[in-house]
Amino acid sequence: MWRAIAVASLVLTACAPTQQLQAEIQEVATSPVFASQPNQAEQPASEGTVVIQGGQIRTESPGKAQIQLSDGLQFRLGGNALLKIEPELQLDRGQIIAWLTPNQKRDRPLQIRTPTATAAIRGTTVFIEQTETQALILSWEGQVEVQLPSGVTTQLTSGQLVRLRPGQTTLPTPERLSRPAAEQRFQRSLLLNGFATPMETLPEIRRQLLGLS
């Protein structure tokens, strides 16, 4: 009898549905921004729009938005971007900056997959820009693991970046972002500027890269 109960318990556990990711748009800083649910036509997005797993969010320049996932991760999207909401976020093109609220824990790293490489983050801030000719992956703060489709990996720390070409099978030595280059990015970045909704890790990024409190 005990064996039967144990087997039944295992079956129930195995059949329990896994929680589906959802993405809620917190702010449309600049239009146009679009959202679509799985197998549905896209519609203009606004604050409060929720996209379920399998859907996607798209921006057309100068459109950009800030979004929060149901597991706590937040990100900003812009620059003619197309992002698919999956357990591994799929950035087909455009720019994304993603972060986890300070002191918030994750059971596993979040992976952001592009046609060129995959970035895995846990409690950090990462910027990715995917174009037709390259992917730029920058760790604004914390550790980011970069993996090529070939399986080769490297670790980025605060202020390090790599530039990767489609089909690349080896990883270059990460570049260090100089202070002047960091200051220029702070001034000109599409995703660091122009939002009313706060980005909680921005003070830490300023402290680490610019020495500002």
Taking alpha carbons only, the member of 161, 101, 173, 177 closest to residue 129 is: 161
**Helix or strand holding residue 170 (H, E):** none
- Give the mean pLDDT of 20-34: 96
| Mean of pLDDT over the chain | 87
Q: What is the pLDDT of residue 30?
A: 97
- Give the mean pLDDT of 50-57: 97
Given a cut of 60, whether residue 135 has pLDDT beyond it is yes
d(CA 95, CA 209): 21
pTM: 0.87
E strand residue ranges, the chain: 22-30, 33-36, 43-44, 50-52, 56-59, 64-69, 73-84, 89-100, 110-113, 118-121, 125-130, 135-141, 144-147, 153-156, 160-164, 175-176
d(CA 36, CA 113): 19
- Give the mean pLDDT of 167-195: 93
Q: Tell which wins on pLDDT, 18 or 110.
A: 110
Instruction: Set out the domains of the chain in order of their start, with CATH numbers.
Output: 22-210 (2.60.120.1440)
Q: Tell which wins on pLDDT, 166 or 6.
A: 166
